[in-house]
């Protein structure tokens, strides 16, 4: 495993761990977003390298940095878009903690807030 593979694996594991608390559908949307971003990053990197390193381009030893940055940026953007789509299609009642009624679906409430009278559960 080279450095590029290790960075990709680390970001994938980070996305999986962060997605654990968001529920199955949101976690799958995050993973799918990164799976879509990987080939796009490889395809777009040759076009981004001249902007990052000038007209001469980058030495092959430094080009992986651009691929990783493009991958992370695309992964975050595509995953966020897919999670918004999942939220809109599935509604407010998905995820490990159901929000209190009257609150925005973007801001999740804790169960203790609902039981303590700070919202209707």
pLDDT of residue 21: 55
Task: Summarize pLDDT for 35-77 with one digit per residue, the tens.
Answer: 999 999 999 988 888 877 776 665 667 778 888 999 999 999 9
Task: Summarize pLDDT for 68-115 with one digit per residue, the tens.
Answer: 999 999 999 999 999 888 888 876 555 555 555 554 444 455 555 555
Q: Which two tokens stand for residue 54?
A: 């000038």
Q: Please state the rounded mean pLDDT for residues 29-34.
A: 90
87 Cβ contact partners less than 8 Å away, ≥ 6 residues apart: 26, 94, 105, 106
DSSP result, 38-83: HHHHHHHHHHHHHHHH-TT---TTTHHHHHHHHHHHHHHHHHHHHH
Q: Please state, in angstroms and rounded to a whole number, the distance separating the CA atoms of residues 63 and 114.
A: 50
């Amino acid at each position: 495993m080279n450095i590029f593979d290790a960075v990709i694996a680390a970001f994938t594991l980070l996305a999986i761990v962060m997605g654990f608390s968001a529920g199955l559908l949101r976690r799958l949307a995050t993973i799918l977003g990164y799976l879509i971003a990987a080939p796009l990053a490889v395809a777009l990197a040759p076009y981004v390298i001249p902007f990052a390193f000038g007209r001469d381009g980058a030495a092959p030893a430094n080009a992986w940095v651009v691929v990783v940055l493009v991958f992370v940026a695309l992964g975050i953007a595509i995953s966020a878009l897919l999670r918004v789509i999942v939220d809109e299609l599935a509604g407010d009642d998905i995820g490990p903690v159901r929000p209190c009624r009257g609150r925005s679906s973007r801001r999740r409430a804790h169960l203790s807030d609902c039981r303590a009278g700070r919202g209707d559960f």
